[in-house]
Amino acid sequence: MFREHAHAPLRIRPFRLAAIGLALLAGFSVGTPAALGTPPSDTSFTIPVNSAEGIAAGPGMTFYVGELNSGDIYRGDIGTETARLFIDAPAGRQAVGMKVDLAHQLLFVAGGTTGQAYVYNTLTGGNVAAFQLTSGPAFINDVALTNDGAWFTNSAAAELYFVPVSPQGQLGTVRTLHLSGPAADTSSSFNLNGILASPNGKTLIVDHTGLGTLYTVDPITGASARILVNGDPNTLLTSPDGLVLQGHTMWVMENFANRVTRLALSADLSTATIEASDASPLFQSPSTAALIGNTLAVVNSQFGTGAGTPFEIVLSDARR
């Protein structure tokens, strides 16, 4: 899949998504590698949705993928390369980034412009909770899990939101974390997007779509610091979106570059070194991904390319 890199709505109206895509595409600097050809191991299969953005790994070979405009959730299997409707979401919901809490059988879903987050039971598909994270400007974009709960990003505000989860799986009261430092920049059309928790769970990692940058965030104080790609402040990512982490290896979905880039994080999280890049022609604005075994399952969002269908998931070997 990856080739080595040589150098250091409410239903959303389709025209609104296209406008977001064009606005983002116009504002990015390109600092990552050029397209590197066709990785022969990449394959794809279609999913029966009318819009796509988020994906989460379930138990075994299963995954959950969201229909962005309706909030419906589909459950699939990368082994059989199939997916079918699992949750028929109530009217007015959206489904952006998502993560599965395997220990408590909970699916956390970011709710986009609704300002909400949703929690579903992964065994029954039942609705567990809906949280109004904010009543202000909102595009609740992605979610990361720690041992203590779920963190959500807002691409329209310099805030993160935390939903506590007890050891017994009980959900607590939402807490808002106001950010300071460079990650608090909201000058772009889309700002904070993907989010992860560090391997020890004591630091959050976020990307900024508009600026093409990565940051660490202190989950207690909200203070942020830049993660320098290749140790160079002038090296930028192109429209970074979803993030995947395994140990100190991180994959970044660069949606409008049609590329997935693999980076190695330093122990202190101050730098991230580009190791490889997959610029497969199968990608159509890859938005999020889930690591299932050794397979990276990537969602083609088709942002900025019109309302083309069918939507697809691209499967790549994460070991390359």
Which CATH number do you get for residue 267?
Answer: 2.120.10.30
Question: What is the pLDDT, as a whole number, of residue 306?
Answer: 58
DSSP characters over 115-167: -EEEEEETTT--EEEEEE--SSS--EEEEEE-SSEEEEEETTSSEEEEEEB-T
Could you give the number of structural domains in the chain? 1
DSSP state of 30: P
Domain that holds residue 178: 3-317
Length of the chain counted residue by residue: 320
pLDDT of 11: 33
Phi, psi of 21 (to 5 degrees): -60, -45
What is the maximal distance between C-alpha atoms in the chain? 48
Q: Where does 5-148 show beta strands of DSSP type E?
A: 43-47, 55-57, 62-66, 73-77, 82-87, 98-101, 106-110, 116-121, 127-132, 140-145
Q: Provide φ and ψ at 17, rounded to 5°.
A: -65, -40
- pLDDT, averaged per 10 consecutive residues of the chain (320 residues), comes to 38 36 37 39 92 96 97 97 97 98 98 98 98 98 97 98 98 98 97 95 96 98 98 97 97 96 97 95 95 96 74 90
pLDDT of residue 305: 67
